[in-house]
Amino acid sequence: MQTQLGDSRSGKLNENLLGFGRALRRVGIPVDSLKISLSLQALQLIDIKEREDCRAALFSVIVGRYKDRQVFNDLFDLYFKDPNLENKLLGLMLPRNQEKPTHRKKNDRARESLQLFNTEQLNGPKNAQKIELDASMTLSDSDRLKNADFNTLSHIEYQLVENLARQIPIYFPKILSRRYQVSNVGSKLAFQKILQQASRLDGDPIQIFRQLRKKTSLPLLILVDISGSMERYARLLLSFLHASTKTHPQTEVFSFGTSLTHLSSSFKVRDTDKMLIAINQDIHDFAGGTKLGTCLKKLNKEYQHLCVGKRTVVLLITDALDTGPIDVLQTELQKLKSSTRSILWLNPLMRYEAFEPIASGPTTVSKVCSKMLAIHNLTSLEQLSEHLKTLLN
Amino acid sequence: MIQWLDILSSKVFNSVDEVIVALKNEGYFADRALATSVFLALKLKRPLLLEGEPGVGKTELSKALARALERVLLRLQCYDGLDQREAMYEWNYTAQLLHVKVAQGGDQDDVLKEIYQRRYLISRPLLQAIECSKPGAVLLIDEIDRADEPFEAYLLEYLAEYQITIPELGTIQAQTTPITILTSNRTRELNDAIKRRCLYHWLDYPSRKRELEILQVMLPNAPEKLTAQIALFVSRLRESSVREQFTRAPGIAESIEWAKALIAMDTLVIDPEIVHDTAGILFKQRDDISSLNAQLVTDLLTPELI
């Protein structure tokens, strides 16, 4: 029986399917052996001579994500024409590592910590003397750093502050979920528990157990401005938020400058330094202008599904010095507001005590946001957690 | 003998074409890819996960399938906070308490055994589907993306083994495999564990020809010219260049509603004015309605050059 998939009597079908599965895996579609065996069964059920039926059958069994549809179709066309051709093409498409294997780079933070240790050992006594001299005249170093604006720091200070920022805890307030847990207080009776007890005591429920709604955290949507004026704040705040939202279940991150970039997958990297490197590779419009309006438009349109249920809290990190059309910004911000719980504007321009949103961009943003919070130095980051608590409860 | 009768009475499809025809008889026009997925879901006894834009006929499919297979349709509408008690089973606590009260003075272990019997169990859609007698049921788990993530975990055992384990009672296994269809509007990505257990199909908007067929079947009284014009107009609205201007393109459900409205208004030919008056049926967002300006409507209504 000669078919498009080869001769089934001599077992070509199995081989072909295996090969196809491997090819799919290489382009990033998850295929496990269960799926391969299922697809083999599926192909035996349908008319294998019908190419489109085969395609539909394999798609239905193997693919589980909408976004994989195009890739699957392309690869199906390629593979079931001439498997060798596909291999060659794939070989051309795949990035090849030309370099010789080198020793794995040590973790950056580990190296830094080693460096710090070495320099401390070398310069230890000198530094100690210096501090002694300074102490009589000025604030201590850590106090100065705490209140220094991120933008005014030298390179080394910036690194230090970044590390300090990572240690600041932030408590996101929790809301009541729709799920219940047994407790001694609460408005609902926990029948199962009461019954368990009553059945042991001749049907007399002595203690009344109740149910209380469990607490759950709100989904977070972080929008970070990466335009020229925000460059330094963006990096620092990203590492701060990364460290503080590690245990937070739903966090989505986007950067915006001239275009919108979805950073959530890079943000999931556990190590903060590696996360920053990954994000660097994702973003292509670093230190450009700001087109908040058009970026929000894209967000509202393509990522609408992230703000389901009006529970999301948006952290908008920007100075709102927008260069795009203001009416677009206004409508898109309103849209975002209507689909989320609250928008908090984290504004580094609040470093100026007399800051007032006067320019058209900041005015528009401040009208929509529930609160404007300062984030220009470590002290303000420490206060952030308190603000969140009062604002969201 | 009885087994033979069962096989004869329960409907079985033997090919993809049979699925297409059977669904068509029930007023559902499935394209070949969808029919293949349905056929495989039936043959391989796997749940089928349908994703697609709202109003492309995900829910309708299960209704039509239930009718075609002469099975009961059980429906579980998902929502945030849906839990095991509403989806699978619940103990009838009041009856149990009464039983305990009546049996006062008896042996405690016996009482405990007695109150956890099947008769004190209230079954909900999932358990109903499992316990459904031949020819079995079609279970529709509608809009599963609306339920929260913990709920998906409840489903896993059912989806993989068609069984439910009740700690007090034991495992209840399905006698006849219920046909399970899950639908999702993709407001969030489902867990991989769910997806692994299901066959998957992405339902797209229908082609113009198919939409015309649907309209003609649903509205047999409609003038042919009108339905053709509706199908053309709606399919043009869904073309990528036009669609970008709207937050959501109208689905089949909307075009059927629109056609009904136009017939009710005794319309013979669509003109821009009528589109303007009835735009609220096609689009449900103020922005979308205002994007549908006179110029665009005129462009979309121009007949095709043949």
Non-local (6+) Cβ contacts of B28 within 8 A are: B57, B60, B61, B64, B65
B126: pLDDT confidence band, cut at 50, 70 and 90? very high
Residue B94 within a domain? no
Q: Does residue B218 sit in the same domain as residue B180?
A: no
Radius of gyration, CA atoms only, chain B: 24
Give the chain A residue whose CA is nearest to the CA of B187: A305
Least CA distance to A34: which residue of chain B? B196
Q: Are residues B170 and B151 in the same domain?
A: yes
Ordered domains of chain A (ranges, CATH) = 2-93 (no CATH), 178-215 (no CATH), 220-392 (3.40.50.410)
Beta strands A260-262 and B48-52, pairing class: unpaired
Low-confidence ranges of chain A (pLDDT < 70): 1-11, 82-148, 151-153, 155, 308-309, 353-355, 357-358, 392-393
| Nearest CB to B150; choose among A30, A179, A309 | A179
Are residue B23 and residue B82 in the same domain, yes or no?
A: yes
B140 and B10, same structural domain? yes
> In this structure, is residue B67 part of a structural domain?
yes
Average pLDDT over residues B192-201: 90
Residue B54 shares a structural domain with residue B193: yes
Number of domains comprising chain B: 2
Q: Which two tokens stand for residue B243?
A: 């669609």
Residues B216 and B292 in one domain: yes
Same domain (yes/no): B216, B173: no
Interface of A with B in 187-216 (CB under 8 A): 191-192, 194-195, 198-200, 202-203, 205
For residue B234, give its domain range: 208-301
Residues of B in contact with A177 (CB under 8 A): 81, 148
Assign A317 to helix, strand or coil. strand
Of the candidates A38, A194, A301, the beta carbon closest to that of B247 is on A301
pLDDT of residue B97: 84
Q: In this structure, what token pair is assigned to residue A6?
A: 């080869």
Same domain, B74 and B214: no
Pick B105's closest partner by Cβ from A47, A59, A202.
Answer: A202
Out of B203, B220, B241, pick the residue that ends a domain. Answer: B203
Q: How far apart are CA A274 and CA A271, in angstroms?
A: 5
Residues B131 and B235 in one domain: no
Joined tokens for residue B30: 């499935």
- What pLDDT sits at residue B125? 93
- Considering the domain boundaries, does residue B93 fall inside one? no
Domain for residue B199, yes or no? yes
Nearest to B80 among A30, A301, A309 (CB): A309
Neighbours of B144 (CB within 10 A): 21
Residue B283 lies in a domain: yes
Backbone phi and psi for residue A140, each to the nearest 5 degrees, phi listed first? -70, 160
Q: How far is A209 from chain B (nearest CA, A)?
A: 14
Whether B292 and B283 have beta carbons less than 8 Å apart is answered as yes
Q: What CATH number does residue B18 fall under? A: 3.40.50.300
Q: Which of B15, B51, B96 sits opposite A195 (nearest CB)?
A: B96
Question: Do B66 and B180 belong to one domain?
Answer: yes
Specify whether the CB–CB gap between B300 and B233 falls below 8 A: yes
Quick one: closest CA in B to A307, which residue?
A: B187
Phi, psi (degrees; rounded to nearest 5) at A148? -75, 145
DSSP-assigned letter for residue A32: -
Return the higher-pLDDT residue of B103 and B34: B34
How far, CA to CA in Å, does A24 sit from each of A56, B167, B240? 15, 41, 28
In a domain, B288, yes or no: yes
> Are B36 and B132 found together in one domain?
yes
For residue B174, give how far its alpha carbon lies from the nearest alpha carbon of chain A (Å).
Answer: 21
pLDDT at A323: 73
* pLDDT at B186 > cutoff 50: yes
For residue B107, is it within any domain? no
In the A/B pair of chains, how many CB contacts fall below 8 A? 115
Measured between CA atoms, the residue of chain A closest to residue B98 is: A203
Residue at B112 is within a domain: no
Please give, rounded to a whole number of angstroms, the shortest distance from the CA of A320 to a CA of chain B.
25
Considering only the beta carbons, identify the residue of A56, A192, A198 that sits closest to B36: A56
pLDDT of residue A10: 55
Q: Which residues of B touch A65 (CB under 8 A)?
A: 189, 195, 200
Calculate the average pLDDT of chain B.
86
Out of B161, B188, B203, a domain closes at B203
In the listed set B151, B179, B203, which residue is the last one of a domain according to the structure? Answer: B203
**B229-262: pLDDT as tens digits:** 899 888 888 887 887 788 788 888 889 999 999 9
Cβ–Cβ gap B91/A42 under 8 Å: no
Q: Say if the Cβ atoms of A192 and B93 lie within 8 Å.
A: yes
Contact B100 A195 (CB under 8 A): yes
Do B133 and B264 reside in the same domain of the chain?
no
